[in-house]
Amino acid sequence: MVPTLLLVSITTFVIIQLPPGDYLDSLAAEMGESGVDNTAVLESLRRQYGLGEPFYVQYFKWMRGILLEGDFGLSFEKNRPVTDLIWDRLGWTFGISIMTLLFIWLTALPIGIYSAVRKYSVGDYVATFFGFIGLAIPNFLLALVMMYVAFKFFGQSVGGLVSPEYLGEPWTWAKFVDLLKHIWMPIVVVGTSGAAALIRIMRANLLDELYRPYVVTARAKGMTEFQLLLRYPVRVALNPFISTIGWILPTLVSGEIIVAVVMNLPTTGPLLLRALLVQDMFLAGSLILIVSMLTVVGTLISDVLLALVDPRIRYQ
């Protein structure tokens, strides 16, 4: 785990350094684009940010800060320590991720079981149809369509997690209710493809199990169909659900950037995108590092859980 993370940190840093130029070039370019050409100020800013040091020096300084002081460096654009900026957003990211995970499980499990047990029924076809649509439609498009519908037919203020009147206000019950009115949308958007995939996997795995001799034996012994289903084949087919934990977090943080940008969510996605665009390298590097860490930790958790749930894995 540790060597993986170390390699990740180096790769991250190298990749961020690869594009030509640095934050100040981006800043100069943006100034130029708004028609404001400020040559005078750039020199003093270059000094301000310590850009221009060799790259391994920058890397070691950065790593030393993280390891010894928990200091992820400074965001050039926000002029604040990275740690001040990301925890808030990581919190939202975690919150939405966990709720999305629950959403995926809660929809995929019953539907997957249903469509396996009632194979080729009308219900199976409907579930399959929506499953394929869910897999095929890109998230951001789904987000746009849902926003359009919410805007056109419900007159809802779209984008963001709370209505404009609650922005920057302290938390109240009304604000919380307002949050619930908004938060289902990103959850559904982000969760749909995951749920669709899991439905397909669940259906396939369960179909493999349903006609095994042990099922027939159990049924012959007079076990009720429902108990039988849940106790044996479903348990065996459950593995993919647990291994989702490993990939859901990184997918949410990095893969759903476009959705977060489109829906204006206060998660890490837009922050990362912006940081990469303007080459705000410590912010981008820290985010990628943390996401990688989550992936590694998530994989570990799902491995442990799998071993707990499935004795076959334990014995190997």
Name the site residues for other proteins (rule: CB under 8 A). Answer: 19-21, 25-45, 47-48, 50, 71, 74, 77-81, 84-85, 147, 151, 155, 157-160, 164, 167-168, 260-262, 264, 266, 270-271, 273-274, 277-279
| Residue 88 CB partners (closer than 8 Å, separation 6+) | 266
CB of 14 to other proteins, least distance (A): 18
Nearer to other proteins, 77 or 310 (CB): 77
CB of 25: closest distance to other proteins in angstroms?
A: 4
Q: Specify the residue, 207 or 261, whose C-beta has the smaller distance to other proteins.
A: 261
Looking at beta carbons only, is 248 or 278 nearer to other proteins?
A: 278
Nearer to other proteins (CB atom), residue 159 or residue 240: 159
Residue 10 CB, nearest approach to other proteins (Å): 24
CB of 214 to other proteins, least distance (A): 53
Q: Which is nearer to other proteins, 108 or 161 (CB)?
A: 161
The least distance separating other proteins from the CB of residue 65, rounded to whole angstroms, comes to 10
- What's the min distance (Å) between Cβ of 154 and other proteins? 11
- Residue 34 or residue 316: which is nearer to other proteins going by CB? 34
Closer to other proteins at the Cβ: 76 or 232? Answer: 76
Report d(CA 150, CA 169) in Å as an integer: 24
Please state the closest distance from residue 39 (CB atom) to other proteins, in A: 6
